[in-house]
Amino acid sequence: MAELDTSSGGGKGGKVRSKKASTRVDLTAMVDLAFLLITFFMLTTTLAKKKAMDLAMPDNSVKTSNLPVAATRSMTILLGSHNKIEWYIGEPGKTAPTVDNYGKDGLRKALIENGKAIADSHAAPDNFMIVLIKPSDKSTYENLVSALDEMSITAVQSYAIVPITPLEIGDLQKNQIY
């Protein structure tokens, strides 16, 4: 509340002086309102949740035998520069790679189409597509995260991040994305 002090400045002397009005503002209500608003907004907003993907990493201490996988079941994705990828089915050098980009019309479409083709061509239900992701020195961390996001979106059952070979680097250089 505001308060107006109308007392005169002093008593002695014969001159009549005009009364000076001094004001004093009580800010208690304003401070209470500020704390109420801060408390309200703190309690009603949600905190930003971290977005993370669960990855199953192999245990390097346990030695396991390698299981043979048909080359026709594997799709290899090479991460190049300029947000471009190159992918092929089978073994490197035996099939011509396809240059593509990220997103629903690029990598996602290729994963869905190749996954369906591999599932249709192999009669056994456990014959699903295996994807090998091979980042190059010229690719960015964002490219790898985008590729992993596409694995999650398209529900690829089995994928791995493996080192790129010199033959595959040569393919990237031929297509000018290295």
Residues 24, 58: Cα–Cα separation, whole Å? 72
Distance between alpha carbon 59 and the CA centroid of its chain, in Å?
26
Helix H, strand E, coil C: the string for the chain is CEEEECCCCCCCCCCCCCCCCEEEECCHHHHHHHHHHHHHHHHHCCCCCCCCCCCCCCCCCCCCCCCCCCHHHEEEEEECCCCEEEEEECCCCCCCCEEEECCCCCHHHHHHHHHHHHHHHCCCCCCCCEEEEEECCCCCHHHHHHHHHHHHHCCCCEEEECCCCHHHHHHHHHCCCC
Residue 16 inside a domain? The answer is no
Residue 25 inside a domain? The answer is no
Residue 96 inside a domain? The answer is yes
> Are the CB atoms for 99 and 87 separated by under 8 Å?
no
93-128 tens-digit pLDDT: 888 899 999 988 999 999 999 999 888 886 666 778
Residue 110 inside a domain? The answer is yes
19-49 tens-digit pLDDT: 777 778 888 889 999 999 999 888 888 776 7
Residues 168, 178: Cα–Cα separation, whole Å? 10
Residue 135 burial (CB count, 10 A):
19
Q: Please, which residues have CB within 8 angstroms of residue 172's CB and are 6 or more apart in sequence?
A: 78, 80, 86, 136, 138, 178
On whether the pTM is more than 0.75, the answer is: no
Over 60: is that where the pLDDT of 9 sits? Answer: no
CATH number at residue 114: 3.30.420
Residue 85 inside a domain? The answer is yes
Q: Please, which residues have CB within 8 angstroms of residue 94's CB and are 6 or more apart in sequence?
A: 71
> How many domains would you assign to the chain?
1
**Which residues constitute the domain of residue 157?**
71-174
134-176 tens-digit pLDDT: 999 999 999 999 999 999 999 998 999 999 999 999 999 999 9
Residue 53 inside a domain? The answer is no
